[in-house]
Structure 1
């Protein structure tokens, strides 16, 4: 159920940013979805980024802290995020959710509110001891995933700039 909630969140953010979210049906590359921004004209190229989606009930990020920790359940998921990529870049998107499923959303006449948020991290090039089977990474709390941040990510990719802050 957490996966469905996160997919809905990311799809909503993508739509607001003028992008599509396409599911990756085979997990060969450690990516769950592709976020794709269409080209501005027929002669230009679309811009896209892979995203690995993870959810956790173990943390409640605080805006007063610079980061929170996320531990991968398997080394291979981490390895897919840190490997150097020439073309298609990849980000990790972590959603923090309440352990109580009934608290995930709230509906009123004003709309649907999703409780808690998604955060993104760019991990390419990160090194961790090869013996660590469940690596832990820091997710910056300033990296809230919203339409503005997704647009900024895709703009940097489009210009060939690094996603490292």
Structure 2
């Protein structure tokens, strides 16, 4: 087996993003949704997750997602939450906006520093090491005078197909995503 190592920091970060996009796309497909990448990061959002209409006369349901991937934290499932620092205040501000539609969530992936550990394949599965967690920051207030905002993410909010379906169901019913 060949060695898999990051060539340099620039490619490592790009491949971290690619890994997370693949994870989120796989979750969306499993939940019967499309993941549309936002090509230009104009609004601070990286993807739009869309569930098609469930019948004639119905509308699709969608949610924006800002994707962040980090090698600096390892969420402890025994704890209720973990902290993630958004480096730019504008990222927090855009996620905290009271939006009409579509709403927005933050999806954070905790990734190994060893690129070779990211996936393992066998004849019956592809495993992705570590996972993504989601949180809605809508309506939360930023700390005044602080550029980097630390957000608390519930460890129970593992981003999988059931979580995405529940998020979209709540949005379809007009419910808040801030009630866990």
Q: TM-score normalised by the shorter chain: which range applies?
A: over 0.9
Counting only pairs closer than 5 Å after superposition, residues 1-150 of structure 1 correspond to structure 2 as: 1-150=15-164
Query: 5+ residue gaps in structure 1?
Result: none
The structure with more radius of gyration? 2
* C-alpha separation in 2, matches of 1:110 and 1:86: 42
State the alpha-carbon separation in 1 of the partners of residues 155 and 30 from structure 2.
21
The Cα shift of 1:42 comes to 3.2
Gaps of 5+ in 2: 1-14
1:89-128 Cα offsets, whole Å, 9 max, x none, are 0000000001111111111112110000000000011112
The offset of 1:28, in angstroms, is 2.1
Number of aligned positions between the proteins: 165
CA shift for structure 1 position 130: 2.7
TM-score, normalised by the number of residues in structure 2: 0.89
Contact 2:49 2:64 in 1 (8 A): yes
- TM-score under structure 1 normalisation? 0.97
Alpha-carbon RMSD: 0.8
